[in-house]
Amino acid sequence: MKLIKCPVNGVRPLQEFLYGGELRPMPDAQASSEREWADYVFNRHGEPGVIKEWWYHIASGTWFIAERDTLKDEFLRTYLYSQEQPK
Amino acid sequence: MPYRLLKFALSRSHPEPRMFRAPESLKKSYDVVIIGGGGHGLAAAYYLARDYGITNVAVLEKGYIGGGNTGRNTAIVRSNYLTPEGVKFYDKSVKLFQELSADLDLNLFYSERGHFTLAHSDATLRTMRWRAEVNKHMGVESRVIGPDEILKICPYINIECGGHEIVGALYHPPGAIIRHDAVAWGYARGADQRGVEIHQKTSVTGIEVKSGRVTGVHTNRGFIETNKVLCAVAGYTPRITQMVGLRTPLIIQPLQACVTEPLKPWLNSIVVSASLHLYVSQSSRGELVMGASLDPYVVHSERSTLDFVEGLCGHMLDLFPFLSNVKILRQWGGMSDMTPDFSPIMGRTPIEGFYLDSGWGTWGFKATPVCGVSMAYTVAKNEEMDLIKPFTLARFEKYDLIGEKGAASVGH
């Protein structure tokens, strides 16, 4: 069984979580062109690597950030969005 | 036969005819390089050679041909989609499949079974009526039927279905299954006979782009000059588009499948249930071939999990309780390149000479022949065939999506 460490509730099974997709900074909607906005809406970091993602712990309603290696499916770090710090 | 086999085993040479040559080295340049020796890439090579006389073509496959998603899907062919664009496209594919054995001179065991998508609620029935009407309008045989008719055609189904009562189904008589690896091998042989080179164990390590044009491909076996590259690598697409600096909406999620031990023939139809997240058919070997929905998050791996088999088998027993003693023989996974609208991404790209045949998610195998035909046209003429114009990468910039999620076999 796959285990994920929720920053609030500790290690819990995968079934208690929902995937929220890649963390993507939103461009300024007014200042960006149609093309830039479409890029934000649709395009994704598709290739394997370590990416920051949103995950949701269903039972406690906690959204948090996970840094995960999508090739090996390994969680490197999990933390609340408010705790995010530049490495 | 045993004597012939013995003689073959003891023979020093292997006189059996090969399906295709194994060229020792790569040429310095090709007119077209196709990345990916799956059904799509090989079909494109075949039609490029057959219909356009373009034979100086190399198909580069990093593993062995048909070893990716071509050999990992559940081999279902159907055209009961939701949008007119989709129905037209997949219907053309079904028609090509129906004649493919004769065309390739290889028995592909094309077997028309009838395809049922079960509805367990009124909401599902509504989408099915919508699909049936679009299908009929486009000339595709498809209709909504009630539980009585389901039981007449497939008497083994448990209509109560463990509390998820079956209230109807979308019935699509032309739904079929086919030997999927034979499709790849048949196209490979046809392409090879016409001069196309198939290079297995050849992986692409880089793509050379000069002032917005493709000029060559780096491989683990050296550099090749070419002005046209077709990328047909399904779950590996983002790794290739990264080489040319192209951003796409594709994300990769695993899709898993499994088969049971062989049983006597009892299931003639292809049965799908979106609510139970499963689809099943019985192969000509007698194995039940079963698949489920996508894994719920991005992983670049072809691994398979126990969670998947447990979940799938639970639902299989709701539908067919008498299978409780049947064993699972093997399970596997493939990588699906998912798009936001569940339609493919095909055609030209902002990089001149770089063509995409991607976004094949969980629906790629059934499109193999039509992708071959339409991508060969696109590469040969440097212009999309009408049939695939709605599916270009540029549709996202125009917010002109082709929503096919409602026709995905299971609720992904």
Nearest to B22 by CA among B65, B51, B86: B65
Q: Inform me whether the C-beta atom of residue A42 falls under 8 Å from chain B C-beta atoms.
A: yes
Res B411: pLDDT: 55
Q: State pLDDT tens for residues B334-382.
A: 999 999 999 999 999 999 999 999 999 999 999 999 999 999 999 999 9
In chain A, the residue whose alpha carbon lies closest to the alpha carbon of B395 is: A38
Percentage with pLDDT > 90 across chain B = 91
Q: What is the pLDDT of residue B8?
A: 81
- Would an 8 Å CB–CB cutoff place B396 in contact with chain A? yes
CATH of B27-72+181-249+341-407, one of 3.50.50.60, 1.10.10.10, 3.40.50.720, 3.40.50.150: 3.50.50.60
Q: What is the tens place of the pLDDT at every residue in B291-307?
A: 998 999 999 999 999 99
Q: Binning pLDDT at 50, 70 and 90, where does residue B138 land?
A: very high
Residue B83 has pLDDT above 80, yes or no: yes
User: Any CB–CB contact under 8 A between A48 and chain B?
Assistant: yes
CA–CA min distance B163, chain A (Å) = 22
Mean pLDDT of A33-46: 94
- Asked if the model's pLDDT at residue B319 lies above 70, the reply is yes
Residues in B touching A37 (Cβ below 8 Å): none
Helix crossing, B39-52 with B368-381: angle to 10°? Answer: 50
Put simply, whether A63 touches B (Cβ < 8 Å) is no
Q: What is the mean pLDDT of residues B124-129?
A: 93
What does the pLDDT look like over B172-217, one tens digit per residue?
Answer: 999 999 999 999 999 999 999 999 999 999 999 999 999 999 999 9
Count of C-beta atoms within a 10 Å radius of residue B298? 23
- Cα A82 → chain centroid: 13
Cα gap B230→B61, rounded to integer Å: 12
Per-residue confidence (pLDDT) for residue B407, from 0 to 100: 77
B261 and chain A in contact, CB less than 8 A: no
Task: Show Cβ contacts of residue B239 under 8 Å, excluding neighbours closer than 6 positions.
Answer: A47, A48, B233
Determine the longest span between alpha carbons in chain B, in angstroms: 65
The pLDDT of residue B4: 83
Q: Where are the domains of chain B?
A: 27-72+181-249+341-407, 112-174+251-338
Q: Is the pLDDT of residue B22 over 60?
A: yes
Report the Cα B389 to chain-centroid distance in Å.
20
Name chain B contacts of A32, Cβ cutoff 8 Å.
none
* ipTM exceeds 0.85: yes
B248 to A44: CB separation less than 8 angstroms, yes or no:
yes
Q: DSSP 3-state assignment of A43? A: coil
Q: Which superfamily, per CATH, for B112-174+251-338?
A: D-Amino Acid Oxidase, subunit A, domain 2 (3.30.9.10)
**Which strands, in side-by-side order, build the sheet including B115-119?**
B143-145, B168-172, B115-119, B270-273, B278-282, B288-294, B251-260, B328-338
Query: What pLDDT sits at residue A1?
Result: 80
Domains, chain A, in order of start with CATH, read: 3-83 (3.30.2270.10)
* pLDDT of B412 above 80: no
On chain A, the residues whose CB falls within 8 A of the CB of B252 are 46, 48, 70
> Is the minimum CB–CB distance between B220 and chain A shorter than 8 Å?
no
Comparing CA positions, the residue from B287, B307, B286, B285 lying closest to residue B296 is B307
Q: What residue in A sits closest to B243 (Cα-Cα)? A: A47
Res B406 pLDDT > 80: no
* Chain-centroid distance, C-alpha B314: 26
Structure tokens at A24: 């993507």
**What number of other Cβ atoms are within 10 A of residue B64's Cβ?**
12
